[in-house]
Amino acid sequence: MRMSRYFLPVLKETPREAQIVSHRLMLQAGLIKQASAGIYSWLPMGYKVLERLSRIVHEEQARAGHLAMLMPTIQSADLWRESGRYDAYGDEMLRIKDRGGREMLFTPTAEELVTDIFRSHVSSYKDLPLTLYQIQWKFRDETRPRFGVMRGREFLMKDGYNFDLTAEDALHSYNRHLVTYLRTYERMGLQAIPMRADSGPIGGEDTHEFLVLAETGESEVFYDSEITDLTFGDRDIDFDDKAACAAVLAEFTSRYARTDETHDEAVFAEVPEARRRTARGIEVGQIFYFGTKYSDAMGATVQGPDGKPTAVHMGSHGIGVSRLLGAIIEAHHDGKGIIWPEGVTPFHAGIVNLRQGDAETDAACEDLYAQLRKAGLDPLYDDRDERAGAKFGTMDLIGLPWRITVGPRGLKSGVVELTSRRTGESVEVSPADAVARLVAVYDGI
Ligand code: ATP
Ligand code: MG
């Protein structure tokens, strides 16, 4: 992409409504624009990151054998009456009427809808296990929408639902989700710690929330510092292997890590004092096992191996895709702006032309731009007729992990400058070498 043709409405002034750094940077870097309280338009670069996050979620779900689908944003109230949640959900649910006076609602979550699909089409245990998920906009009329996309009213969520014959199989689904989530967040450059949590209006027995530690997080968390040494890394897990998935769950949940809702001082006191931490965290996901709660209420049964109807065991699992942008920026920024992790960056590298209009420099930039694209990378070329300082300022603000600076002086000795946004370190290399290095950096990401 050429900057001259891009739509990147960078703000010169600091937006006053932003209370936390990620909200401020998202507005300043032209990623989002507020449409009304807690509701945002996603401008091209913000949307690009949102799409990258969605792609990572899809890839990791596919790896675990979960099936992507799409359910509507508008639901009928009838299904929610069946489960008993229409009245229970309260003011967070946005309720609307169609022209025929029928009660409808904007989906805050989709347990009822997916259970209805299941009961209509699945009748035998032989069709289990089944996990369906979607990445779809949700609406919750939050009392206090704030911090930009972090607590919106409209937000993008991945929501997944598993259907299993037995509690044991459903537990495996739970563990499998924990494993996929660990990998998903790490690919996004985040450490998200699974913490024992409270189930809230979804109801249920087992639940863990995934929290990214950050001063601006809304949840208070308590944990054993050893947990932050754990990484999932590049493990190749067989998702059908119950023992392997259970071992990962045990590894990542055996140390004390809880939100304030489930925190227990007496149990926490057993953690050696030097390892006890109290901090704040951003909830970026949650997994639930709730047994037969919805299948009982809505009659979702299958014929079991003994020929008798059995209520299926279910769980649901959510990732706050749009909130993740805020969480990633909270975790990766400095005084100058965003620092995107390579896995989620909107463009792989920025090209800064120091002397726009100089034939030789322009040609070198054009060539570099073409070579990067040929190598399968997605560069952003700042070809505007602007001062170098302004170009550097924009690049630092929007936070592309790598910058290639091209100027007449370097070109005389055949080099350009390759700079890491994170460390600020630069190397002078030939344009071909810069391309090769970037290809190596992004290999496998
Ligand atoms: P919270 O406690 O933050 O209100 P929740 O527990 O009600 O969230 P879930 O039903 O678990 O939310 O939804 C799954 C994920 O969706 C959450 O882990 C969070 O990352 C995201 N999410 C929930 N509410 C919002 C919101 N208002 N704005 C942005 N993301 C949200
Ligand atoms: Mg939650």
Query: DSSP string covering 80-112, please?
Result: HHHHTHHHHTGGGS-EEE-TT--EEEE-S--HH
Distance 241 CA to ligand 2 centre (A): 27
- Can you give the pLDDT at residue 321? 98
Among 1.10.3720.10, 3.40.718.10, 3.30.930.10, 3.40.630.10, name the CATH number for the domain at 3-337: 3.30.930.10
> Where along the chain do its domains lie?
3-337, 347-442
- Can you give the pLDDT at residue 250? 95
Cis amide linkage into residue 15, ω under 30° from 0: no
What ligand is nearest to the CA atom of residue 135? 1
- The atom of ligand 1 lying closest to the CA of 140 is 27
H-only helix segments in 152-241: 167-187
- Can you give the pLDDT at residue 3? 97
Token code pair at residue 164: 């299993």
Q: Which residue owns the Cα nearest ligand 1 atom 16?
A: 320
Quote the mean pLDDT of the chain: 96
Per-residue pLDDT tens digits for 245-267: 999 999 999 999 999 999 999 99
- Can you give the pLDDT at residue 197? 87
- Can you give the pLDDT at residue 201? 56
Per-residue pLDDT tens digits for 177-215: 999 999 999 999 999 999 998 766 555 568 999 999 999
Ligand 1 pocket, mutate which of 323, 324, 328, 330 (most atoms under 8 A from CB): 323
- Can you give the pLDDT at residue 182? 98
Q: Which residues 6+ apart lie within 8 Å of 425 measured at CB? A: 419
Distance CA 208, CA 352 (A): 45
Q: Which residue owns the Cα nearest ligand 1 atom 3?
A: 283
Burial class (CB in 10 A: 0-12, 13-18, 19+), 285: buried
What ligand is nearest to the CA atom of residue 138? 1
Distance 269 CA to ligand 2 centre (A): 26
- Can you give the pLDDT at residue 208? 95
Per-residue pLDDT tens digits for 375-416: 999 999 999 999 999 999 999 999 999 999 999 999 999 999
Alpha carbon 91 to its chain centroid, in Å, reads: 26
Distance 258 CA to ligand 2 centre (A): 13
Per-residue pLDDT tens digits for 48-97: 999 999 999 999 999 999 999 999 999 999 999 999 999 999 999 999 99
Residue 442 above 60 pLDDT?
Answer: yes
> In degrees, to the nearest 5, what angle opens at C-alpha 229 toward C-alphas 223 and 235?
120
- The atom of ligand 1 lying closest to the CA of 210 is 18
Distance 150 CA to ligand 1 centre (A): 9
Q: Which residues 6+ apart lie within 8 Å of 91 measured at CB? A: 141, 143
Distance 201 CA to ligand 1 centre (A): 12
Distance CA 111, CA 109 (A): 6
- Can you give the pLDDT at residue 235? 95
Domains 3-337 and 347-442 equal at CATH topology level: no
Q: Which residue has the tokens 């790598």?
A: 402
- Can you give the pLDDT at residue 166? 96
- The atom of ligand 1 lying closest to the CA of 108 is 10
Share of the chain above pLDDT 90, in %: 96
Q: Which residue owns the Cα nearest ligand 1 atom 13?
A: 318
Distance CA 103, CA 295 (A): 23
H-only helix segments in 254-353: 265-268, 293-298, 321-331
Pocket (CB within 6 angstroms of ligand 1):
109, 140, 142, 151-152, 155, 157, 200, 283-286, 318, 320, 322-323
Per-residue pLDDT tens digits for 139-183: 999 999 999 999 999 999 999 999 999 999 999 999 999 999 999
Query: Which H or E run contains 41?
Result: strand 39-42
Its sign, for the CA torsion 227, 228, 229, 231, is positive
pTM of the model: 0.97
Among 1.10.3720.10, 2.40.37.10, 3.40.50.410, 3.40.50.800, name the CATH number for the domain at 347-442: 3.40.50.800
Residue 309 above 80 pLDDT?
Answer: yes
- Can you give the pLDDT at residue 206? 87
